[in-house]
Amino acid sequence: MRSKLFVPGTRAELFAKALAGEADAISLDLEDAVSEPRKDEARETVRRFLEGGEAASSRKTLIVRVNAMDTPHFDKDIAAVARTGVHLINLPKPQSPAHVRTAADAIERAERANGVQAPIGLLLNIETPAALRMAAELALAHPRVAGLQLGLGDLFEPLGIARREPSAIRHAMFAVRIAAGEAGLYAYDSAFADIRDAEGFRAEAKLARDLGFLGKTCIHPSQIAIANDVFRPTDEEIAHARKVVEAAREADARGVGAYVVDGKMIDIPFVIRARAIVESARSLGLLPS
């Protein structure tokens, strides 16, 4: 999931186009992209689309961002969109581990009511000071939690922190990645609002990749190709990873714990990383399965 494109829940004419596009995932949005008077309309539009079957047959990761739990829309959102073909519910502003468990229970009830067989995961937004402080607790709150997603705009703007301040961005990214890592989950990067600044988007995506993030949120189709490029393992990384994986096999057969590949000392943490790169390359069609 190198790239995830937000699509407003009211824009039904964009749904099929997004499914046919280059983003690895699409996120149908019932929250920020929908004004309060149109919440019911957006929910119904997304429900009809999900029931149509086109989404379920797509190879993309399908996400729905619902409204926060402290709004009157949350329960109705979950009941409407917990459908076959949805992989993740994106939960804004979780306030506590108990909130996460309550959301998971709501999804389970909706799955039973809607005949969903494959469990739907939770992608939790880390976009408040409290959520950043307790990010690991949120990540560990329920087995349905699949990942943590950083929301820099919501986190920084109310506090008067400049959205482009490098030290603040790096600190928030690192905190979220470590919290996700504690739970064995992935971390996903924030949206970048200035769609005209392609180089700024690329630089922020590159930082996120260097800090171990899985991919980056896109709010405009022009950002998708950049995210896909940045979060793709390079040919050099793939080649080195394959050498490490092969050397690990040989070392295991000989009972050797540490060894050298391309002049670098290799042990278990490096092998784990190499295997992940090889698996990512295979999933992207860059290596044979």
Query: Would you say residue 54 has pLDDT above 90?
Result: no
Three-state DSSP class for 61? strand
Domains of the chain, each with CATH number or no CATH: 3-230 (3.20.20.60), 235-283 (no CATH)
At 217-275, the pLDDT tens digits run 999 999 999 999 999 999 898 999 898 999 888 888 888 888 889 888 888 889 999 89
Do the beta carbons of residue 102 and residue 69 sit within 8 Å?
yes
At 142-172, the pLDDT tens digits run 999 999 999 999 999 999 999 999 999 999 9
Per-residue pLDDT at 248 = 86
Q: How far apart are CA 194 and CA 28, in angstroms?
A: 20
- 134-140 average pLDDT score: 98
Give 26's strand partners: 5, 62
Per-residue pLDDT at 176 = 98
Do the beta carbons of residue 137 and residue 97 sit within 8 Å?
yes
Q: How far apart are the first and last CA of the chain?
A: 18
